Amino acid sequence: MFERTQIGKARESLDESLTIAGWVKRTRVLRNISFVILRDVSGEIQVTVKDDEMRKAVEDLGREDVIKVTGRTVSSEVANTGVEFIPDSIEVVNKAKQPLPFDLFGQVKTELDTRLNYRFMDFRTEHTSSIFKIQNVLLTAFRGFLTDRGYMEFQPPCVIASASEGGADLFMLPYFEKQAYLAQSPQLYKQMCAISFEKVYTITPIWRAEKFNTPTHLNEVRQMDIEQAFADDETVMKVLEEILVHMLVTVKEKCPNELEILGREIVVPELPFRHVTYTESIEMLQDAGEEIAWGDDFSKPQERKLTELVGKEAFFIKDWPSVQKAFYAMPYEENPDVVHAFDCIYSGIEISSGTMRIHLPELLREQLRKKGLNPDNFTHYIESFAYGAPPHAGWSIGLERLTMTVTGMTNIRECSMFPRDRDRLVP
RNA sequence: GCCCUGGUAGUAUAGUCAGGCCCAGUAUGCUCGGCUGUCACCCGAGCGAUCCCGGGUUCGAAUCCCGGCCAGGGCGCCA
């Protein structure tokens, strides 16, 4: 490949001969002069063409053609951005078919569905690229924070033999002469890792075969999970609030342009987050006139109402009724109807939930029976804790949902590069 | 799975309620021509739509009715 300077850098390197390359954003052909707005991932620059032969080449350029231009950047009083690129040669690398499937930079707004059909081009728009640049910073901040604190990244299997936590429906797939499923959670695997490696995390896809059709659900999402030994729910809640603030601060620091493009102002919640118990939450809602009883889950409007009542950007709801949480959630000794479980609400949406897990085989069997499940079907799981399992806890953040709240998107499909929903399997 | 709204050139929309003035208007895109530095360039001409699919009502359907598919929103389920 040819030597190339990124446009962002080329803009600052005045009067040096260099080669830039990228996509033609638009051309403006006048009587005696032509302009090409050239874009790459780092930015844009105006290429000003006066030479007749090169002007002929510019006339043939279309939007999104890929070209290579050798020349130099000069400061300019006429050009709006203060610099322009004077070419010595222009070479077409690859033409784009015209007309384009949608207006990338026009004033005509394209619907999400259309943009998703042409996602490869949608990535070139400021709007969409900002979302994924921010998502990337969230991911690297997450990894960086945990790596610095001695957590080990692990990779759980995505094809599993049976349901890991019940609840959601699983996608089935044939596995030679057996029946297998796509994992709905890395739950059992992270526990198995934590009881040996102590502090672990993973970023992994999970699948739910529910036929939901909402702006906040997808059938395939990415989870950011941690699991930690010698820890209870309070220990990992502290990790969660710290990592969340760290991720938000990092995005604020590294993505000011992207946030501005999206018109987003990040409010970093104060540490420590407020802890509200489930029981207190129910009382608050009841006092506000909501029809809800102890043991019920919060409806969507109730979750929003609660956020209003608590009045915090982020907070925890903890100590949930056993009936609302998975069988592996550790019950309180003095009140087994309540478990060491929590949800983290940020910006009015549940972005994370976690529990202290049961590490005692006999207690696990008892909880399974209470939930109407047969412990014999969970032998492998229960056995993992029979040979010296320390107490442990963990949580999980939905990557797309977190990206939604950070970028201010109202449809989760905006925050998945290639979303999988009830109907969409391509691209 | 339920409720509401929608589906018209590449894209985004007007027209649909009150069927015929619509072989479908506008913007943007695309093609061509003009324009002495533009910057959402400007100006002019042209191209592009079996009006989502199937059925029905009617002399006549983009428009009304039924079914399907798809999209957006609200809920349920779920995380």
Class of domain A121-273+312-415 (CATH, top level): alpha beta
Which nucleotide's C1' is closest to A423 (Cα)? B70
The C-alpha atoms of residue A143 and residue A424 are separated, in whole angstroms, by 30
pLDDT number for residue A164: 55
What pLDDT shows up at residue A106? 78
Calculate the angstrom distance between C1' of B22 and CA of A103: 27
* Mean pLDDT for the stretch of residues A238-247: 97
Q: Can you tell me which residue has the tokens 């934590």?
A: A194
Residue A166 pLDDT class (50, 70, 90 cuts): low
Task: Provide CATH code, domain A7-94.
Answer: 2.40.50.140
Q: What is the pLDDT of residue A350?
A: 86
Of chain A, the percentage scoring pLDDT greater than 70 comes to 99
- Read off the pLDDT of each residue in A383-398 and give the average, rounded to a whole number: 95
Output the distance from A109 CA to B27 C1' rounded to whole Å.
12
pLDDT at A303: 86
pLDDT on residue A170: 87
| pTM score of the predicted model | 0.93
> Is residue A62 packed enough to be buried (19+ CB in 10 Å), middle (13-18) or exposed (0-12)?
middle
Residue with minimal CA–C1' distance to B75 is: A300
Give DSSP secondary structure letters for A14-68.
BT--EEEEEEEEEEEE-SS-EEEEEEETTEEEEEEE--HHHHHHHHT--TT-EEE
Q: How many Å does it take to go from CA A112 to C1' B54?
A: 28
A300 closest-nt by C1' vs CA: B75
pLDDT digits (tens, 9 = 90+) for A151-161: 999 999 999 88
Confidence band, pLDDT 50/70/90 cuts, at residue A364: very high
pLDDT at A200: 97
Sheet with A159-160, edge to edge strand ranges = A159-160, A178-182, A172-175
Mean pLDDT across chain A: 92
As a whole number of angstroms, the distance between CA A170 and CA A162 comes to 9
| A90 three-class SS | strand
- Can you tell me which residue has its alpha carbon closest to the C1' of nucleotide B11? A102
Mean pLDDT, rounded, for A195-216 = 93
The pLDDT, as a whole number, for residue A376 is 86
Q: Which residues contact A140 (CB under 8 A, 6 or more apart)?
A: none
Straight-line distance from CA A86 to C1' B31, in Å? 29
- Which residue has the closest alpha carbon to B35 C1'? A31
Quick one: pLDDT at residue A290? 84
- What's the average model confidence in pLDDT over A241-263? 95
ipTM of this predicted structure? 0.90
- For chain A, domain boundaries: 7-94, 121-273+312-415
pLDDT of residue A304: 85
Output the pLDDT for position A163.
59
The pLDDT tens digits of the residues spanning A62-72 come to 999 999 999 99
Backbone angles phi, psi at A9, to 5 degrees: -80, -40
Written as one string, the DSSP assignment of A252-307 is HHH-HHHHHHTT----PPPSSPEEEEHHHHHHHHHHTT----TTPPPPHHHHHHHH
Q: Residue A162: is its pLDDT beyond 70?
A: yes
Tell me what the mean pLDDT of segment A388-397 comes to: 96
Name the residue closest to B48, CA to C1'.
Answer: A99
How far does the CA of A340 sit from the C1' of B69, in Å? 46
Nearest nucleotide to A351 (CA to C1') is B79
Q: Please give the pLDDT value at position A31.
A: 85
pLDDT for A366 = 93
Q: Which bases of chain B come closer than 7 Å to a protein CB?
A: 1-2, 10-13, 27-31, 34-41, 69-79
The DSSP secondary-structure symbol of A109 reads P
Is the confidence at residue A146, as pLDDT, over 80? yes
pLDDT digits (tens, 9 = 90+) for A17-38: 999 999 999 999 998 899 999 9
Distance A423 CA to B57 C1' (A): 34
Give the model confidence (pLDDT) of A73-118 as tens digits: 999 988 889 999 999 999 999 999 999 999 998 778 899 999 999 9
Is the pLDDT at A167 greater than 90? The verdict is no
CA–C1' A54–B38 (A): 17
Gap from A406 CA to B41 C1', in Å?
37
Q: What is the pLDDT of residue A165?
A: 54
